Each structure stands twice: as C-alpha cells, then as structure tokens.
Amino acid sequence: MTPTQEKPQLRWGIIATGWISSMFVQDLLAPRADAPARHIVSSIGSSSVEKANAFIDKMWKASAEPRPSPYGTYQEVYNDPNVDIVYIGTPHVLHKQNCLDAIAAGKNVLCEKPFAMNEREAQEIVDAAKNRGVFIMEAMWTKFFPVVQALYDHIYVKKSIGQVRRAFVDFGSSMDFDAIPGDSRLKDPKLGAGAILDIGIYTLTYASIIMGEGKLGDEHPHPKISSSMEIINGVDESDSVILTYDAGAAKKTAVCTATMRVKGSPDFARVDGSEGSITVFSDIGPSCPKGFRVTREGEEPVVYRFDSPEGTLGFFYEADAVACDIAQGKLENDVMPLSETLRMMRLIDECRRQNGHKYPQDDA
C-alpha cells in the first residue's frame, strides 16, 4: 500500500464478552495516529442482550467511537451485513463450532488460540474456510509484536550470539485451583482446561521461532519430542516438553515448561548461542513480551525494549496485519499461516499422546 492510498478498513463482530475479548476491543478502540488500518467494532455477541450491552457500556465508557449493535446470540453477529470479520474469544472447546458457523455465513475469521482442541478439529476448520473462500487466522498475537521480529533478526540476521545451541522457555501462572469452580474452563477437562492449551502453546511457539530459522508449517524442521505432564483430576497442571532439533553436527535443544501452579519469572526465556545469550523478558507475561537483553562474553548486556502505545496491550498488531491481508485479497497470513496452526496442533497432540492425556473431542 502506497502512502497515497487510504488505510484499509475492517468492521469487526466480537464473539463473547470475557477478558480476552475485552483486551482485544480495548486495543481496537485505542487511538493510534500511525495505525496502518482503521478498525470499527460493528457488533457484540453474547449469551444475552443484557450482557452485550453491559460489555458495550464498560468498553465504550471513555470512547468516542460509534457504539456497536448488541446481540443476544452469536448467530446474529454472523448474519450482520455490517460485519467483515468475526473475532472469536470463546473458550477453547467452542472454537470449532464458532468458526464453522462464521465461515458458513461467509465471514472472515480471527480465532483465539488455541485454534481448536486437536489437529483434526483444526483441519476441519481450515477445510471449511478454504472451501468458502474466506480469510481465517489463529490469533497468536505474540508473533506479531515488533520485539519478536527483532528477536528473530538478532538470532538469524545479525547473528548476535553466533550459532544457536539451546533455549529455555517458561510460562508460569499461579492458579488457586481450590477456589476455581469445577465448571470453569480453567478446571473442567471437557472445556480443554490445563497448561498445554492455555499457556504451554506460547512456550512451544517461542521455541519454534527460536529454532525454526524462519521456516513455518511443513517446512519447519521436525524435532524429536519428549513430553511429560503432571495430570491431576484430568487436567495437566504442569508440562515439560523437550524439542531436539538435528542441526547436522550440532543438535539444538529447546526446553519448554508451563505450569499453572506458580508465577514465572519476568525473565521467561533464554537463548544460548556459541557467542553469547539472549534473555527475553516481560513485566506482564510471556504472551506479551517487552524486550530482550543480548549478552556477549566480556561485554555489558545490551537491552532492547519495545513498549506498546499507551492504553494498549499489543492485540492491535495482529488486527492490523489481518486488515492489511484482507485488503490485499489474501486468505491467510504469512506470519501465522494455516499450515503453522496445523503443525502446532499436531505437536500439542503428540505431547498429550505421550502422556495419555485425552480430551472428549479426541474420540468425536
């Protein structure tokens, strides 16, 4: 798009009114003078009109943007002619049906991670989107942060730490399981509760960025996978995954850990190379990286920090990318192609298989 062309405009329909949808909408409403796209929230879908209106009252309290239409069903959002794309922020277990319903209505889709409960469900969604000719992407927002691109550049373009040898990535989130209701998505195995889908997917994503040399989907190297899970009452509360990449004479290893028992460190990842190391940090959490430190032997660490504009968390990065893709007539994104989503679901399925960890959807 040249400077003389208008910014692409995208009209959003939001499915569900929980925390993740709140954060996404907050970013869409935040004023950004240099935004490459214009985002309009056209409708909000919830389990009742009252809940949709309550969400709108809260989110638009300090916003001058036009208020969206409130709907008491998701289908009304799918059917709304003023919606170009549907953002799906429902619990994991609902993603498949929500995506299929939106696709059937001819809507483009941005679906929160994890895209589905397993690879089979993900493939069904992908096939439906391709048959209908609509854009669809898994909302792995972390991959669109400028800090992640800068991290990749330091590892593979500038080669700031030489040859990558190993990486450690951890995501720790402290949950009081005794206080969580049994029917919560954080505790109910039928709803996909557990570390691997909720936070482990981020550690595996970082490992793929660090070890994959920019290759995605079927072109990504095929590591040896070794997984262990601590499963309590059908929920994987803690996971460890070792990915061993055969890089010729020298192997590369990524150790990925995720737990819902304790809060992790702000320094959540370290990449060790032949000439130094890179430590990735965040004061919010691994899903929202803030920067990294490059340390070379005998030198002082160099800090690279990337803060999002005031009033935002960073969800707008993926929203902008989607708007530009759709304006260009693309049906999937280059940073998060569908083949990469399927590969990640396949990796998670294998981690679960090694531990005998099944969801009801696996037998569907």
Strands 250-259 and 164-172: parallel
Q: Among residues 135, 138, 145, which one has the least CA distance to residue 328?
A: 135
| Of the candidates 64, 87, 111, 85, the residue with the CA atom closest to the CA atom of residue 9 | 85
Closest CA to 36 of 305, 318, 267: 318
Contact 83, 77 (CB under 8 A): yes
- Beta strands in 46-104, from DSSP E residues, in sequence order: 69-71, 85-88
Average pLDDT for residues 13-34, to the nearest whole number? 96
Q: What average pLDDT is seen over the chain?
A: 95
Q: What pLDDT score was predicted for residue 1?
A: 36
Q: Is the pLDDT of residue 224 over 80?
A: yes
Give 116's pLDDT tier (boundaries 50, 70, 90): very high
> SS3 of 317, please?
helix
Question: What are the percentages of helix, strand and coil residues in the chain, rounded to 5?
Answer: 35, 25, 40
Cα separation of 159 and 76, whole Å? 51
Contact 286, 206 (CB under 8 A): yes
pLDDT number for residue 249: 61
43: β partners: 13, 69
Look at residue 3 in the predicted model and tell me its pLDDT: 39
Residue range 104-122: mean pLDDT, rounded:
98
Which CA distances in Å does 278 have to 78, 169, 170, 282, 296?
Answer: 44, 12, 14, 14, 9
Angle at 192 between CA 189 and CA 194, to 5 degrees: 80
Residue 13 DSSP code: E
Domains of the chain: 7-139+313-340 (3.40.50.720), 145-304 (3.30.360.10)
**What per-residue confidence (pLDDT) applies to 189?**
86
Band of pLDDT at residue 227, cut at 50, 70 and 90: very high
12: left (phi > 0), else alpha (psi -120 to 50), else beta? beta
Query: What is the per-residue pLDDT across 117-135, written as a single tens digit (0 to 9) for each?
Result: 999 999 999 999 999 999 9
pTM of the model: 0.95
Residues 46 and 72 sit within 8 Å (Cβ to Cβ): yes
d(C-alpha 341, C-alpha 325), whole Å: 17
Tokens of 348: 């998670």
